[in-house]
């Protein structure tokens, strides 16, 4: 499964971007291959509709889950329709790598 994580930079050491639609980068993490790739979010400076455009991008990148600080009402409604699960992570100092690690540990907990 692919997970999108909003990020302020393009490395695993970058912090989580608390904004969804105006997030600077998107980390696409594949839970099977354990590969992470970073995509720039060209919608971050949109006058309007940044949230819905970013939701569209996340869907086109094939993510089934998205982690961010929060989601605006329009983005939320659209992500629900696209059946992309939203995960709110309200810790500003968390790194993208740290979130990926946590996801791994929850998975282990769930399987054991």
Partner 1 sequence: MRIAVASGKGGTGKTTVAVSLFHFLEIFQDKKVQLVDCDVEEPNDALFLTPLQVLDKEEVCQFIPGIDLSTCTFCKKCVEWCEFNAITVVASRKFAEVDSNLCHSCGACSEACPTHSIVEEPGVLGTITHYKTENGSAFTQGLLEVGSAMQTMLVKKLKSRVRQNSEITIFDSPPGTSCSVVETVSDTDYVILVSEPTPFGLHDLKITVELLQELEKPFGVVVNKANLGFRDIYSYLDEKKIELLGEIPFSREFARVYSSGELLKNIPEEFEQIYQGIIEKVLAHETVN
Q: Which residues bind partner 1 (CB under 8 A)?
A: 43, 46-50, 52-53, 55-56, 59-60, 62, 74, 78, 81-82
Strand partners, 6: 26
User: 68, 88, 74, 94: which is closest to 6 by C-alpha?
Assistant: 68
Q: Which is nearer to partner 1, 65 or 95 (CB)?
A: 65
Least Å from the CB of residue 48 to partner 1: 6
Q: Which is nearer to partner 1, 19 or 53 (CB)?
A: 53
Least Å from the CB of residue 56 to partner 1: 5
Task: Give whole-number Cα distances, 48 to 2, 32, 75, in Å.
Answer: 27, 35, 12
């Amino acid at each position: 499964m692919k997970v999108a994580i909003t990020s302020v930079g393009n490395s695993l050491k970058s912090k989580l971007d608390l904004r969804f639609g105006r997030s600077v980068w998107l980390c696409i993490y594949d839970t099977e291959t354990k590969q992470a790739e970073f995509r720039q979010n060209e919608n971050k400076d949109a006058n309007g509709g940044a949230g819905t455009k970013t939701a569209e991008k996340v869907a086109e990148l094939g993510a089934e889950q998205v982690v961010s600080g929060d989601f605006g009402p329009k983005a939320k409604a659209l992500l629900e329709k696209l059946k992309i699960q939203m995960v709110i992570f309200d810790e500003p100092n968390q790194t993208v790598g740290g979130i990926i690690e946590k996801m791994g540990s929850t998975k282990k907990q769930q399987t054991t």
